[in-house]
Amino acid sequence: MSENRDPGPAGRPLTVADVLALPVVADGDPRVVTGVEHVDRPVRWVHITELTDPASFLKGGELVLTTGMPLPDDAGGVRRYVDELAAVGAAALVIELVRRYHRPPDALVDACRARGLPLVTLAKDVNFLEVTQVVHALLLGNQADAMRRTQRVHEAFTALTLRGAGPEDVLRAAAEMSGHTVVLENLVHRALICEPSGSTAEAVLTDWERRSRSTPAADRAGIRGPEGWLVAPVEYQGETWGRVAMLHGPSGESGATVPARTATPPPFGPEDVTVLERTAMALTIARLTRPTPWERAAHRNALRDLAEQRHHSPADARARVAALGLSTEQTRFVALLADVPAESETARTEARLSEELDASGTQALVGLLAPTRVGVLLALRPSQPWRQAVERVSRTVLESAPGTTVSVGSPAGDLADVARSFREAARVAEATAPGQPLPPDRSFHERSDLGLRRLLFALRDDVRVQEYAERQLGRLLDHDARHGTGLLATLRNYLDAAGNKTVAARAAGVSRETVYQRLRTIERVLGRDLESGEQRTELHVALQALDALRGR
C-alpha cells in the first residue's frame, strides 16, 4: 500500500496546497501571503461566509472563502476575527481582492501572520460555489477511498492470522502497507524484529534502548516521544508483553522530503494508525499460537545472519546485535557449536543454555542453527580468558545433554569476523566423530585438535579420499576377503610400530618369522616396498582414510 503515499489528493488528506492547485482556484491567481509553511494543513471542508463571526459555525479544518465584505474596519476587530478563526482550527482564510479590497489590509496580514493562519488572496473573480462542489467531491471521494484501503488492511491482516503467520511476516506486511519502518520490542526495550523501509538497520537501531526508553508507553496506539514514534502495545495472556513501533523514514516519511523549515516530520495518518493497531492485534494472536519465545527466535535469526553473513553491512550487523543487548565495542567474540545426540534434546539444551547465561550475566546469543545443533556467540571483554568462558558453557551443555559434541572457533576481535569463527567451529565439528576423546583439561574441541585423523574424517565424503584409500589398499582388502586372512591388521601393526617388526610381532601376538612372511605377502599383493619410508607413509595415510570411511 505504499503507492497510496504518492503526492496528490489520492491516498492522503486533501491539503490547502492541493486546493490552491485546483484549476477552479488557480484561475483566480492565488497567492499565499502568510503561513506558507502551513499550506500542508488538511482541509476537512469548505465554508463560504460573509459573516462577521464565522468561527461560531466552524468545527476546525475548514477552508474559509470570503469576498472580504464582512471584515471589520478597525484593526482590533480584524484581530478578533482572525483570532476566532485560528482558535477554532480553520485550515486557511481565502479572500477575494475584487470587490471591497484590491490589496489585503495590513491589519489582516499582521493578524494572520501572528496566529500562523495561512492567508491566501485571489486577484481574480472565482466562483466560490464551484470551488465548494469540486473540493467536497474530492473529500467525499477520498473518504470512500480511505474506507476501501482500511478494508484492505483488515483483510490482509486477517489472512495473515488465518495462515498462522509469524511475527516476521506480520512486521514485513506492516512495513509494506505503511511505507514506514516497523520495529517489535519487548518490555526491556530489546529490538527483536526490525523491518526497515527506506532506511537501514543501522539508522533505525543505533542507540535503540536509550531512544526507546525516552518514548513513553501507551495503552493504545498513539504518537509518543521526541521522535514522534507511532506505538501500540502487544499483549500476551492479558498482560502487556512489549510494543510495536512505527518510525518515520530518514527523510521523515517514506519517499517524502521534510521541508527544511519544519523541525518535525509529517504526522502519521489515520491509515497508519489502522495498520499499527492491526499489527499489534496480529502479533498478540501469533504470540498465543507460537510456542517458541520471540526473544529466542530473535537470537536464532541473529546468529544465522552472522554465521552466514546475511547482513547488508557490518554496521547493520552491529546495530542489530546491540539492539538485542550485546556489547559490540571493545568486545571479543567466540563462536561455539553444540551438536546434540538427539533432536528431541535440542530445544531443552537451547533453553537451559539461555537461562544459565542470563543468570550468570554473560552476554551471549543462543539459538538453534540446525535440528540437532545449537549455536552460541559469546561476547567477552578482551581481558576475559575465553577458554574458561567456553568451558563453563560446554559443561552446562554436557549436563543438559550428555554425549553432546562441543566445537569452538578461534576468537574474533570484531563482529565482522564472527562468520570466520563460526566456520572454524563448523570445520572442527565436521572433523570430530561422536565420542571423540578429549584432552583431560577441557570438555570442548578446538582447531588445534585437528590432526591427520580428524582431517580425513572431515573429508570422508570426498570421492578423492575414497578413491585414494581404495587404490592403495583395495587389493589387500580383496585378498583378505577371499582367503580369510588378516593381512590388513598385520600392515596396521607394522605401520603403527614405525616399521619395527619386533614391536609389530608383539602387538599381533605372533613370531617375528610369521610377521616377515606376512609382510612379504603384503608387498607382493600391493606391489609396494615396505622398506620405503615414503611408501609406508602413503599406506599409513590410506589406513587412516579407511578408518574415517568406516566411521572410526
pLDDT of residue 218: 82
Residue 311 pLDDT greater than 80, yes or no: yes
Residues 449-508: tens digit of each pLDDT: 766 776 777 677 788 888 888 898 889 999 889 988 889 988 988 888 888 888 888 888
279 touches 182 (CB < 8 A): yes
The per-residue pLDDT for 9 is 44
What distance in Å separates the CA atoms of residue 183 and residue 196, rounded to the nearest whole number?
A: 8
Is residue 110 scored above 70 in pLDDT?
yes
- CA of 75: how far to CAs of 35, 67, 96, 113, 118, in Å? 19, 18, 19, 14, 18
Tell me what pLDDT residue 4 has: 37
Averaged over 47-73, what is the pLDDT?
85
3-state secondary structure of 234: strand
CA-based nearest residue to 353, from 332, 384, 371, 378: 378
- In this prediction, residue 7 carries a pLDDT of 36
**DSSP string of 416-481?**
GGHHHHHHHHHHHHHT--TT----TT-SSB-GGG--HHHHHHHTTT-HHHHHHHHHHHHHHHHHHH
pLDDT at 8: 44
DSSP-assigned beta bridge partners for residue 405: 339
121 - beta bridge partners?
31, 95
pLDDT of res. 94: 92
Q: How confident is the model at residue 11 (pLDDT cuts 50, 70, 90)?
A: low
Q: How far apart are CA 178 and CA 272, in angstroms?
A: 6
Contact yes or no for 269/13 (Cβ under 8 A): yes
pLDDT at 338: 93
Mean pLDDT of 195-202: 87
Q: What is the pLDDT of residues 314-372, one digit of tens each?
A: 888 999 999 998 988 889 999 999 999 988 888 889 989 998 898 888 899 999 999 99
3-state secondary structure 120-133: EEECCCCCHHHHHH
The SS3 assignment for 308 reads: coil
Count the Cβ atoms, other than its own, within 10 Å of residue 176: 16
Q: Between these two residues, 266 and 374, which has the higher pLDDT value?
A: 374
Per-residue model confidence (pLDDT) at position 192: 93
Contact 382, 330 (CB under 8 A): yes
Give the per-residue pLDDT at 100: 84
HSE-CB for 293 with a 13 A CA cutoff: 15
pLDDT at 393: 92
Amino acid sitting at position 255 = G
Three cell numbers at 520? 612379504
| Whole-number pLDDT of residue 73 | 84
Instruction: Report whether pLDDT(59) > 90.
Output: no
What one-character-per-residue DSSP string does 338-371 give? EE-SSGGGHHHHHHHHHHHHHHHT--EEEEEEET
CA–CA separation, 281 vs 289, rounded Å? 13
Q: What is the pLDDT of residue 374?
A: 93
The candidate with the shortest Cα–Cα distance to 40, out of 261, 221, 255, 276, is 261
Rounded CA gap, 176 and 174, in Å? 5
Closest listed residue to residue 230, CA positions, set 211, 213, 215: 215
> For residue 10, what pLDDT is reported?
46
Cell reading at 286: 501469533
Q: 521 is written with which cell numbers?
A: 605377502
Degrees to nearest 5, angle at CA 135 with 133 and 139: 115
* pLDDT confidence of residue 54: 83
CB 327 within 8 A of CB 369: no
- Number of Cβ atoms within 10 Å of the Cβ of 506: 14
The model's pLDDT over 127-147, given as tens digits with 9 standing for 90+, comes to 888 888 888 777 776 665 666
Look at the pTM and tell me if it is higher than 0.85. no
Identify the pLDDT of residue 418.
93
Angle at 80 between CA 78 and CA 84, to 5 degrees: 120
How are beta strands 181-186 and 239-247 bridged, if at all? Answer: antiparallel
Q: Find cell 507460537 and name the residue.
A: 290
| SS3 (DSSP) at 379 | strand
Instruction: Tell me which of 141 and 23 has the higher pLDDT.
Output: 23
pLDDT at 109: 93
Residue 204 pLDDT class (50, 70, 90 cuts): very high
C-alpha–C-alpha distance, residues 414 and 332, integer Å: 7
User: What residues have CB less than 8 Å from 428, skipping those under 6 apart?
Assistant: 337, 407, 408, 409, 445, 446, 447, 449, 450
Mean pLDDT of 282-295: 82
Q: Mean pLDDT lowest for which of 131-140, 300-309, 377-386, 489-498?
A: 131-140
Identify residue 501 by its one-letter amino acid code: K
Is the pLDDT assigned to residue 380 strictly greater than 90?
Answer: yes
Q: Contact, 465 vs 456, CB < 8 A? A: yes
Among the ranges given (3-7, 224-228, 361-365), the one the predictor scored with the smallest mean pLDDT: 3-7
Contact 322, 204 (CB under 8 A): no
pLDDT (0 to 100) of residue 189: 93
CB 249 within 8 A of CB 198: yes
Strands (E), 345-467: 364-370, 373-380, 405-408
**d(C-alpha 134, C-alpha 470), whole Å:** 88
Residue 499, C-beta contacts closer than 8 angstroms, at least 6 positions apart: 530, 531, 533, 536
pLDDT given for residue 263 in this prediction: 42
Q: Looking at the predicted structure, is the pLDDT value of residue 93 above 90?
A: yes
The 10 Å Cβ neighbour count of residue 192 is 23
Average pLDDT over residues 67-96: 89
Please determine, for residue 31, whether its predicted confidence score (pLDDT) is greater than 50.
yes
Q: What is the mean pLDDT of the chain?
A: 85
Confidence (pLDDT) at 266? 54
Task: Give the pLDDT score at 419.
Answer: 92
